[in-house]
Amino acid sequence: MVIDRDAIQKKLAELERYVTELKKYRHYEVEDLRADLGKQWMVSHGLQLAIQVILDIGNHILSDRGINAEDYTDVIDKLGEHLILPPEFTKRIRGMAGFRNVIIHGYSVLDLNKVHSVLKDNLPDFLEFARYIANFLEGEKKKSK
């Protein structure tokens, strides 16, 4: 198999679009989210979409390399194990997979403090992921020449 660079580039553009949109809501306080279900949905769904893009890209790259991931956390871990992402970065973001599951499946009551914290403090992680993937794609392109 060959990595579909165009598909990944489109996913990276989606990710950037989601982060740009989420940045518009960083001024919300946790009380704003508690008081307004629409704001909760807007922020949590935006975070869910951004995390899903990361997982989709990771799955695509791992699949291309014949690497199977058991679950979404394993996708992140394997990206680090195979040095597609720096291992220290994967340790920092590995909780995203579980956070995505909580948002989607409601495994527990959504912790609005956590949603707020991710919105305020972790949006740069999404862009850092995008930079690492762009660098990875560039390295793969050079190898194929």
Contacts of 17 (CB under 8 A, 6+ apart): none
Q: Which fold has domain 5-144?
A: Four Helix Bundle (Hemerythrin (Met), subunit A) (1.20.120)
- Please state the domain extents for the chain: 5-144
What pLDDT does residue 108 have? 60
What pLDDT does residue 134 have? 96
What pLDDT does residue 107 have? 53
What pLDDT does residue 34 have? 93
What pLDDT does residue 79 have? 97
Residue written as tokens 């995505």? Answer: 100
User: Using one digit for the tens of pLDDT, what is the confidence trace for 52-93?
Assistant: 999 999 999 999 999 999 999 999 999 999 999 999 999 999
Q: How many C-beta atoms lie closer than 10 Å to residue 141's C-beta? A: 11
The angle, 0 to 180 degrees and rounded to 10, between the axes of the packed helices 112-121 and 37-64 is: 60
The one-digit pLDDT tens for each residue of the chain (145 residues) are: 578 899 999 999 999 999 999 999 999 999 999 999 999 999 999 999 999 999 999 999 999 999 999 999 999 999 999 999 999 999 999 989 888 878 887 656 788 999 999 999 999 999 999 999 999 999 888 877 6
Q: Which helix (H) or strand (E) holds 62?
A: helix 37-64
